[in-house]
Amino acid sequence: MTCLIVHPQNNVRDFLVYSSIVRYICQTYDPSIEIHYIVLDKFSQYCEYLYGDGLNIHYVYLDDLTDNNLLRLLMGDHKNTKDRQFYGYFDKYRFDTFKGMFQSHAGSLSLENSDFNPYEMYKIEPSVHTRYFAFTRNMRVETNKWKNSLERFKFKFNAISSIRGFQIPKAYITETTLNVYLDSMFTETNFFESMVIIMNASKIYLRHNDVYTLFVYLLQESGTFSDEKSKSIHLLHKGEDQVPFEIPAKWKSSSV
């Protein structure tokens, strides 16, 4: 028997949201069931970081996720696959009670629409998101690509997530500290290499809804950080902003 998985893949946030669901399926299904996971070719490197710990999974790489490409797969190699764990736009191809859930709840049948909560929509226990998140560091890349750069920092540096239109309070910035802006250093193609900056930063400043905030939060909840590292994280948000998760007790939080 085979299970086929596909989810929205518009950006790195989608992988941070769905990787826990993929891992949950892999770790809770009967081992006799083969798990096949459809991934866009351009995001194939993400699998090394999110599933690189020996997870029993077979990758199906496609150059796009258009209906034509999926139907070719569903009428070909996977014509007999009835367990389709398809999410978002793709749930119209499911056979279970969640078929068509996306269109009826999200109101927009668009391949680019991933602005919804799949844990709520597909009745998946919310704790799965943190309990099943895992991350594998690529120490070869970190050492070869970033070691010399980090050694050039002769003093402490802060890692700051996207702050467009959002000023870091002067009280948190000192003359002896270099501020490294993650969104200026990393793109979708090398997003997970930011781990080396996050782990070496003296302090980490995050916005309430930034993709780096979600990444750091999942790392925190999966037990990646030491107590000292956890205490170096500072979440900044405006009074009216809604933080999309319960702020970890060891983090500092300020409304500015």
User: Hey, what amino acid is at 29?
Assistant: Y
Domain identity same for 149 and 125: no
Q: Does position 111 have pLDDT exceeding 60, yes or no?
A: no
Residue labelled with tokens 């299970």:
3
Q: Are residues 115 and 6 in the same domain?
A: yes
Which residue, of 101, 131, 161, is where some domain finishes? 131
Q: Nearest 5°: phi and psi at 31?
A: -60, -20
pLDDT of 103 higher than 80 = yes
Please count the other Cβ atoms lying within 10 Å of the Cβ belonging to residue 105: 13
Please state, rounded to an integer, the average pLDDT across all residues of the chain.
87
Domain of residue 52 covers 2-131
Whether residues 152 and 232 fall in one domain: yes
3-state secondary structure of 119: helix
Cα separation of 211 and 95, whole Å?
32
| Least confident span in 83-92, 109-118, 186-195 | 109-118
Confidence grade of residue 146 (pLDDT, cut at 50, 70, 90): confident
Residue in 49, 54, 86 with CA at minimum distance from that of residue 70: 86
Task: Check whether residue 14 and residue 66 sit in a common domain.
Answer: yes
Specify the pLDDT at position 27: 95
Q: pLDDT confidence of 254, banded at 50, 70, 90?
A: confident
Closest CA to 89 of 99, 79, 77, 81: 99
pLDDT at res. 64: 94
Q: Mark whether 40 and 89 lie in a shared domain.
A: yes
pLDDT attached to residue 61: 96
Residues 149 and 199 in one domain: yes
In this structure, are 99 and 214 located in the same domain? no
CB atoms near residue 75 (< 10 Å): 9
* SS3 at position 183: helix
- Can you tell me the mean pLDDT for 29-58? 93
pLDDT of residue 247: 85
Of 97, 131, 165, the position where a domain reaches its end is 131
| Domain end (from 75, 98, 131) | 131
Q: Please tell me the predicted confidence (pLDDT) of residue 166.
A: 61
- For residue range 209-235, list pLDDT tens digits in order: 789 999 999 999 999 999 999 999 998
Same structural domain, 83 and 12: yes
**Lowest-pLDDT range, 27-36, 69-78, 103-112, 173-182?**
103-112
Among 39-53, 114-128, 141-155, where is mean pLDDT lowest?
A: 141-155
Domain count, the chain: 2
Per-residue pLDDT averaged across 149-176, rounded?
A: 69
- Within this chain, do residues 171 and 219 fall inside the same structural domain, yes or no? yes
Structure tokens at 130: 């943190």
Of all residues in the chain, what percent carry a pLDDT higher than 70?
88
Strand partners, 4: 36, 84
Give the DSSP letter of residue 141.
Answer: H
Are 43 and 144 in the same domain?
A: no
State both tokens at 253.
Answer: 């939080």
Residues 120 and 228 in one domain: no
| CB of 124 closer than 8 Å to CB of 17 | no
More confident position, 86 or 149: 86
Please indicate, yes or no, whether residues 46 and 164 belong to a single structural domain of this protein.
no
In this prediction, residues 136-163 reach a mean pLDDT of 77
